[in-house]
Amino acid sequence: MRTLTLLIRAALITGMALAGTAHAENLSADTDEPKADKFPLSAGASISYRFGHANFIESKGDFGSQTLSVSPNLGYTLTDKIGLGFSIGASKALDTSYFYSGTASKNVKAPWEISDISFSASYGGFYTIPKVNIKMSSSLGLSVPMSKTSRAAGRILVASPGLSLGWKAGSFSVGAGFGYTYFLNQSATYQVDCGVYQEVCDKQYLGSSETGIANPLLNLSTSLSLGYSLKPIPVSLSVRYGLSNGASAVSGVSDEFTVDNAQVGTQWGLGGQSFGASVRYAFLPKASLSFSYSVGGGVYTNDNERYRLPFFDFESQLRNRVSYGVSLSASL
């Protein structure tokens, strides 16, 4: 029954996308009028349905997850290479996974939750490396906390500068990205608002607002992507592999009680990796339907003894690191 419901939801989203195609094509008929200058302001929106692999595995408990999200966005073109962007979204957990039961929406009948507000600036193709024709682009993203998770963590601002390289030959393209993310927090750890949750502070934290759960401080990431366009068919394929590692805002202190193998100073993680693939069908010049799957997790296996293959979750019994998605996007 779960699998049938899952497929019906995906089919409904796909059907809604294709139902409006014929009408939209009539509106975009060619005319003999000369083209005007491109309007600098653009707008778009996307709706996505994502579900975990655990939905297809029989188990004694309900471990599957399904999420519906919408994201409108605005863009402004300053020059042919420089642009500004703004986006905000909302999501609803249709069926919350057991593994994510600690999030704000942990009931099956969860409310819609707003995401953080994002501002971005991009400088595309600001330099081309001679002879090899590799184009360099840069970006800067700023995220203002609006979601329950960010506000609970005491987030003030998140800044994400990035650099990307791109090369294209016919229908084939290669891209590489490098990113740095800095988290500006009110505190190095999650704090409990004792004015609202005094009982929690008294019983669990001995009257203190300190939880001991560390906030992130920074994150470093890099990625490699490959793309191929099936022209003249409006279908494109892409795969992406990424590596990342981060440090927490809490620093380890060295004193007489510190053990020999303790990490002193900046607390770095063990690193993570991700892999994803997608198929995109542009059924209109400014509208597309995408199908994707992604896998996330650590660089090493759960026992930390060997490298973990990133293409699928071969370790966990419920394959909970694997998720699939269908997304409809359109712009004006």
CB 305 within 8 A of CB 286: no
User: What is the average pLDDT across 206-210?
Assistant: 74
pLDDT band at 96 (very low <50, low <70, confident <90, very high): low
Q: Which two tokens stand for residue 157?
A: 């601002």
What are residue 15's phi and psi, to 5 degrees? -65, -40
On average, the pLDDT of the chain sits at 84
Write the pLDDT tens digit of every residue in 254-297.
777 777 777 778 889 989 999 999 999 999 999 999 999 999 99
Residue 294 phi/psi, 5-degree rounding, is -145, 155
Structure tokens at 38: 């491109």
Query: Is the pLDDT higher at 318 or at 269?
Result: 269
H helix runs in the chain, sequence order: 2-19, 21-27, 148-152, 198-204
Which of 275, 273, 270, 221 is closest to 248 using CA atoms?
270
List phi, psi (to 5°) of 260. -65, -35
Instruction: Please report the pLDDT score of residue 36 as a whole number.
Output: 54
pLDDT digits (tens, 9 = 90+) for 28-81: 444 445 555 678 999 999 999 999 898 888 776 667 788 999 999 999 999 999
Q: Where are the beta strands (DSSP E) in 78-149?
A: 82-87, 90-95, 113-114, 117-129, 134-144
Which band of pLDDT confidence, cut at 50, 70 and 90, is reported for residue 26?
Answer: very low
Cα–Cα distance between 235 and 232 in angstroms, integer? 8
2 CB contacts (<8 Å, ≥6 apart)?
55, 56, 64
pLDDT score recorded for residue 109 = 65
Quote the CA–CA distance of 120 and 58 in Å, as a whole number: 43
What per-residue confidence (pLDDT) applies to 37?
A: 64
Res. 23: pLDDT tops 70: no
Residue 325 has pLDDT above 70, yes or no: yes
CA distance 8 to 2: 10
CA 304 to chain centroid: 26
Greater confidence (93 vs 254) lies with 93
Q: pTM for this structure?
A: 0.81
Helices (H), 102-243: 148-152, 198-204
- The number of angstroms, rounded, from the C-alpha of 286 to the middle of its chain's C-alpha atoms is 22
